[in-house]
Chains A and B, each alone.
Chain A
């Protein structure tokens, strides 16, 4: 079922099934939001979001699936939990963000920000070694995101690399755990079809 909504953007279609999917078993209590904006006031990242947290919550309530899923907000949210700690209605805002990220991985809303690439690179390393191998994470991420080719950032990145190497802060070789087969099976059992 699709509902037509009149918003400041004109007429938009709303998808109640999307709202229901995010609400899930109801434990996030999204329905309680009355737009007090405590979440957005304290959010350290709101200034780089396209929608502030309280706006995103309202859009999820209304079922504006496309606008929500195409936004950068839920990817740029660093899950610092400031919002959820201060919410007077005890809404699990970070869990809402998590559900949006899970839907985004499944449905392919992964091009707005480099964060999905970071998460995939991070977990790819964990799947192979059982632990994070920081040097590989940094290099692989910087190559696939093409950040390594950003010339304006090159002096800063080289300085950081030098600082870390010269103080022995980066292991040169990976440390593989013995139970990597076990870890691989954990990943296989939890991987989502389109993840």
Chain B
């Protein structure tokens, strides 16, 4: 029976999920548990190098993710990732190493361990929506998020570059919207789904990040949303820290876990970590 099948993955949380985005990590793990997905955290994983890696050196930008992919390959499972920025670096590494075997061997030398590039890197949103599937999620929903109007925000690295991430339509992705519908919420149709939050300019050019995040929040507000929903710790940090509009933002996994019946105490401990208080929009719909 499909009901009892457990999906199993290696799990790479990424650096942000240990500090700024701890609530993302906890809510992904809680959602996975509620959906019979087993996430086995990689032993001694390292930073993927992020944007600074590929801006600095092409081999470094492949070797840092490849060390983690090799650990996952030894485990014998595909790899689940929560951070959209890490996700792209891992997808890019597999993409480049599969296209060029000489390069793959060179990277194996650098990381001092074999890596065949046979396993897949998958974002947890993709795993929940496509591998667990909407049907199973719908059956498991205990608390439909009725009346909650949300703007699903994908940002850059889930969908771009499309030939590398192979995730969804790069201009109008729907996978997170459909997940939100499945758990009873109301995703709004809006213009800024895949606009950039300012990403790595967070510290170096905060003026730009303030402008881009305010544009995002205003667009969501104009289209009737009461909050944004993200699947990336960097988008979430930029939106929560830099906007001046006061728009709350959720990680998609927090809402998923809430709908699946996670304990209210646990859910509230995540809400306390948000900088833009999301509790009022939930209270307005009697959801907590």
Contact = CB atoms under 8 A, between A and B. Distances in A.
Contact of B57 (A171, A178, A195): A195
A105 B56 CA distance: 7
Contact of A182 (B16, B47, B54, B112): B112
Interface majority SS (helix, strand, loop, mixed), chain A: helix
Interface stretch (A1-9, A62-70, A128-136): A128-136
A187 B205 CA distance: 27
A185 interface: yes
Given A160-B241, A168-B22, A182-B67, A195 B47 contact: no
B53 interface: yes
Given A81-B160, A131-B46, A191 B57 contact: yes
B15 A132 contact: yes
A123 B48 CA distance: 10
Nearest to B85: A79
B200 A118 contact: yes
Interface string B1-43: 0000000000000011011101000000000000000000000
Contacts of B67: 179, 182-183, 186
Given A119-B56, A170-B19, A191-B57, A177 B161 contact: no
Interface residues of B, number: 54
A195 B56 contact: yes
B198 A78 contact: yes
Given A79-B54, A85-B170, A167 B273 contact: yes
A160 B241 CA distance: 7
A179 B273 CA distance: 31
A78 B201 contact: yes
A123 B46 contact: no
A45 interface: yes
Contacts of B160: 80-82, 84-85
B199 interface: yes
B222 interface: no
Given A170-B20, A178-B44, A179-B44, A192 B272 contact: no
Nearest to A185: B112
Contacts of A175: 18
Contacts of B53: 123
Nearest to B59: A190
A122 interface: yes
The 7 closest A-B pairs by CB, nearest first: A81-B160, A80-B196, A132-B15, A119-B52, A122-B52, A190-B60, A190-B59
12 contacts: A44-B198, A82-B156, A98-B55, A119-B55, A132-B15, A163-B241, A182-B111, A186-B64, A189-B110, A190-B63, A192-B57, A195-B56
